[in-house]
Amino acid sequence: MSTGTLIDGRAIAGQIQAETAQRMVSLQVRGIQPGLAFVRVGEDAASKVYVGMKERACAQLGIFSETRVLPETTTQAELLALLARLNTDARIDGILVQAPLPRHIDEAVVYASVLPTKDVDGFHPVNVGKLMLGDTTGFMPCTPAGVLELLVRSGVTIDGAEAVILGRGNIVGKPMAAILCQKARHANATVTLCHSRTRDIAAHCRRADILIAALGVPRFVTAAMVKPGATVIDVGVNRIPDAGAKSGSRLVGDVDFEAVRPVAGRITPNPGGVGPMTIALLLRNTVRAAEQRP
């Protein structure tokens, strides 16, 4: 039995990083070094890892970065005061507030407090609104923008395709739907957005030419749910017990990769699929923000 072609997120992210590095050269001629600030509240283990990966990626490209770590007990007012200072810091072109935040802090208020011009995560209401309107002057959220790049650079036909997205979150599902349904180049898909209340999710999935899983449920997508030849993008990051692993657990996606690959036409591995793209798009957004300095 043939197997689906792997969509190599690391290789495609490398292409984007090389393009971003060329844009860095043009900024250097202008005497500009892009700057990115990371803000982390608390000691969430996964957040530490993710911010560390982003810091290293910045260093490789020559982007100035700084990380502000606040204690778990930080008040919302204290966090907003820090973001207000970063908003006015001329060295900083982009601000990323690492999720999750402590429960006593309102994420929506925090994201709305970052200047839209420094919102390289694409979560500010102005940038969300621009995405919905098809206004390309805003910043798109990094993970769905990365998925779009995976599709485009892998030669997947989006125009007229049936795209099914599993998960209606504000970070991936909703913006992904908005991106794919635009009346624009590399879009024009017919989009179905499925979630926990959707009746017969499997039936929707089997219609999909492009299936994007962002539910946060380990190995939710099985081979029986996939249309033969479909493109399958696995956005999920789930930790499951594994007695054989040193840590006692391991990461898996939302797709049962080994079972689905023989059915799919193209499929992302996990890890090595969407993850590297998110970082590549974050750095591209940061460089773009720097290019727009007054």
Between strands 162-166 and 249-252, the pairing is unpaired
Query: Is 159 labeled as catalytic in the residue annotation?
Result: no
| Candidates 93, 98, 174, 209; catalytic one | 98
Q: If we measure between CA atoms, which residue out of 256, 251, 244 comes closest to residue 272?
A: 251
Q: What single letter denotes the amino acid at residue 248? A: G
Q: What is the DSSP letter of 278?
A: H
Instruction: Report the distance separating Cα 259 and Cα 77, nearest Å.
Output: 48
Average pLDDT over residues 209-233: 97
pLDDT tops 60 at residue 275:
yes
pLDDT at 272: 94
Query: Is 182 labeled as catalytic in the residue annotation?
Result: no
Instruction: Report the distance separating Cα 281 and Cα 288, nearest Å.
Output: 10
Instruction: Report the distance separating Cα 143 and Cα 280, nearest Å.
Output: 10
Give the three-class secondary structure for 271: coil
Average pLDDT over residues 71-97: 98
pLDDT at 143: 98
Architecture of 35-115 per CATH?
A: 3-Layer(aba) Sandwich (3.40)
Average pLDDT over residues 199-204: 98
| Candidates 54, 118, 174, 227; catalytic one | 54
pLDDT at 245: 84
Average pLDDT over residues 133-140: 97
Average pLDDT over residues 279-294: 96
pLDDT at 244: 86
pLDDT tops 90 at residue 59:
yes
Query: Is 118 labeled as catalytic in the residue annotation?
Result: no
CATH 3.40.50.10860 spans which residues of the chain? Answer: 35-115
Q: How confident is the model at residue 182 (pLDDT cuts 50, 70, 90)?
A: very high
Question: Which pTM value belongs to this model?
Answer: 0.96
Give the three-class secondary structure for 194: strand
Phi, psi for residue 183 in degrees, rounded to 5: -85, 85
Q: How confident is the model at residue 144 (pLDDT cuts 50, 70, 90)?
A: very high
Give the three-class secondary structure for 249: strand
pLDDT digits (tens, 9 = 90+) for 10-28: 999 999 999 999 999 999 9
- The tokens of 146 are what? 């990365």
Contacts for 186 with CB less than 8 Å, ≥ 6 apart: 148, 151, 152, 158, 159
pLDDT at 2: 64
CATH 3.40.50.720 spans which residues of the chain? Answer: 141-274
In Å, how far are 63, 78, 157, 268, 285 from 91, measured between CA atoms? 11, 21, 40, 36, 16
| Candidates 93, 119, 121, 256; catalytic one | 121
pLDDT tops 90 at residue 273:
yes
pLDDT at 178: 98
Across 46-55, 152-161, 177-186, 260-269, least confident range: 46-55
**Across the chain, what does the average pLDDT equal?**
96
- 3 or 125, greater pLDDT: 125
- Asked if 198 contacts 204 with a C-beta cutoff of 8 angstroms, the reply is yes
Quote the radius of gyration of the chain (alpha carbons, Å). 19
Q: What is the CATH number of domain 141-274?
A: 3.40.50.720
pLDDT at 286: 98
Q: Specify the length of the chain in residues.
A: 294
DSSP codes of every residue in 115-146 = -GGG-TTS-SHHHHHHHHHT-TTSPPPHHHHH
Contacts for 14 with CB less than 8 Å, ≥ 6 apart: none
- The tokens of 28 are what? 């250097």
